Every structure is written in structure tokens, then in C-alpha cells.
């Protein structure tokens, strides 16, 4: 669901912004490390916008939308 909403972003955002998908089942250790470093509790599905090591925006479940992501990246 979250991945489909990210795909709803404009082509300009998708081409100019690096996006990474994390398979939490295969990489729980990495997920835990990200939660520790950002101070954002893990939820799934979830999106984090991290800039210069700081989480600038996060949303989970039904809060995730292309519009809110685009606003946070602007």
C-alpha cells in the first residue's frame, strides 16, 4: 500500500528523490537501527523522510499519501 502511494508521486519527484524500500521481515535488525537513530517507533507500512540524518517526516498506514509526501519534500 505505501509503495503504491509513493508511486503516485509526480515523475519529477520520483526521478529526483532517492527512495528506498526496506523488507522488514528480512531486515528487522536494520529496521530496529533506523528506529533507534530516528526516534520514530516502527510501524508497518510506514514512510520516513530522512534528510541529513534527521527524520523530517513520518507517516504510517492510512496517513501515507502522495500529497503528504510531496508536501513534506517541498
Residue spans of the domains in the chain: they are: 2-73
Tell me if 45 sits within 8 A of 2, measured CB to CB. yes
- In terms of pLDDT, which residue wins out, 2 or 26? 26
Q: What is the pLDDT of residue 45?
A: 87
pLDDT tens digit string along 57-69?
999 988 988 888 8
Tell me if 58 sits within 8 A of 41, measured CB to CB. no
Does pTM top 0.75 for this prediction? yes
Q: What is the pLDDT of residue 59?
A: 93
Tell me if 41 sits within 8 A of 33, measured CB to CB. no
Nearest to 46 by CA among 7, 10, 3: 3
pLDDT tens digit string along 11-59?
777 788 888 888 888 999 999 999 999 999 888 888 999 988 899 999 9
Nearest to 71 by CA among 63, 46, 34: 63
Dist. CA 14–CA 36, nearest whole Å: 27
Domain 2-73 has CATH 3.40.30.10: yes
Amino acid at each position: 500500500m505505501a509503495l503504491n502511494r509513493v508511486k503516485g508521486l509526480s515523475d519529477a519527484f520520483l526521478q529526483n528523490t532517492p527512495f528506498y524500500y526496506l523488507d522488514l521481515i528480512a531486515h528487522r535488525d536494520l529496521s530496529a537501527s533506523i528506529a533507534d537513530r530516528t526516534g520514530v517507533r516502527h510501524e508497518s507500512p510506514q514512510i520516513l523522510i530522512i534528510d541529513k540524518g534527521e527524520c523530517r517526516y513520518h507517516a504510517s498506514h492510512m496517513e501515507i499519501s502522495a500529497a503528504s509526501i510531496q508536501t513534506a519534500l517541498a
